[in-house]
Amino acid sequence: MDAITQGETLGLEPLATGERAKLFPAARFDGLDCLAATFRSHAYAPHRHESYVIGTIEAGCETFRIRGVRHYARPGQIAFVNPLETHDGEPYGPGYSYRMTYPEVGLMQEVAASLSGRDAVGTPFFRQPLVEDAEGAALFGAAHRAIEEGGDLLAGEEMLLSFYARCLARHADLAVRPLGREAGPVSQARELFEARYDEDLSLADLGRLTGMPRHHLIRAFRRETGLTPHAYLVDVRIRRARERLRRGDMPGDVAAATGFCDQAHLTRAFKARFGVTPGVFRAAHAG
């Protein structure tokens, strides 16, 4: 049996009424496909992929057979298919909605190397095709939706890497190295955020500056600052936005000047930190 892509798998049969399938790329991950779908009757024939298959059920139940065992996937669980493992899939009951990713071996090796501290990690292997991990499933859902919406690219990149790292550390055959102090590289990353907060920076940009793998940088940044890189960047942007609002700049102009996707994005972040909207804050200082 030849390995096929998920796009080829979906194209084998037309979808029924009430079904949907959206396949889209993850912008910050070269060659990584994502799928958001709802199936009522669609059934996958036995097939296999060269990539991993990792994701969650959002509603309903999917049943699939792998390694000779039938499984039933429900919300709050994470499903794993290792590369070249034969599997199928179909609705159990009235149907299901799910989100999936298809990370290449190289990407999972990148994250595994940052966790283990070893360059040669082989191909990580997930022991169980289905695990109970409600917190991990929620993290994956947030990451997947952020990538699908395509607004805050750093948020989606950071959350998805953190999710894969969680999966490798908890559910794969990988020994995790304790995290050391990385004050110098983190300081470099902080200076970049302070200087270029209005740009669409990526973890790859930070990695080139600091010489650190993307996920290792996330872990080190959180240890040194108490925040992830994305959370720190949002705080820098909010500080710069507050300065502009005090001067009387309009919220829409402020959002564009400080790196937010739009005014609504600025409003959510600003209110979460100050309890009022940018418009109310501006009016108070204008008065």
- Tokens 């501006």 sit on residue: 282
Is 70 exceeded by the pLDDT of residue 1? Answer: no
Identify whether the C-beta of residue 6 lies closer than 8 Å to the C-beta of residue 33.
yes
Task: Kindly indicate the confidence band of residue 16, based on its pLDDT and cuts at 50, 70 and 90.
Answer: confident
Domains contained in the chain, CATH given: 6-170 (2.60.120.10), 232-286 (1.10.10.60)
**Torsion sign (Cα): 59, 63, 65, 69:** positive
Q: State pLDDT tens for residues 152-185.
A: 999 999 999 999 999 999 999 888 877 666 778 8
Q: Which two tokens stand for residue 257?
A: 């000047």
**Torsion sign (Cα): 246, 249, 251, 256:** negative
**pTM assigned to the model:** 0.90
Phi, psi of 58 (to 5 degrees): -95, -30
Let me know the angle formed at the C-alpha of 222 by 218 and 228, rounded to the nearest 5 degrees.
60
Task: Kindly indicate the confidence band of residue 120, based on its pLDDT and cuts at 50, 70 and 90.
Answer: low
Q: Name residues whose C-beta falls within 8 Å of residue 106's C-beta, 6 or more positions apart in sequence.
A: none
Q: State pLDDT tens for residues 27-42.
A: 899 889 999 999 999 9
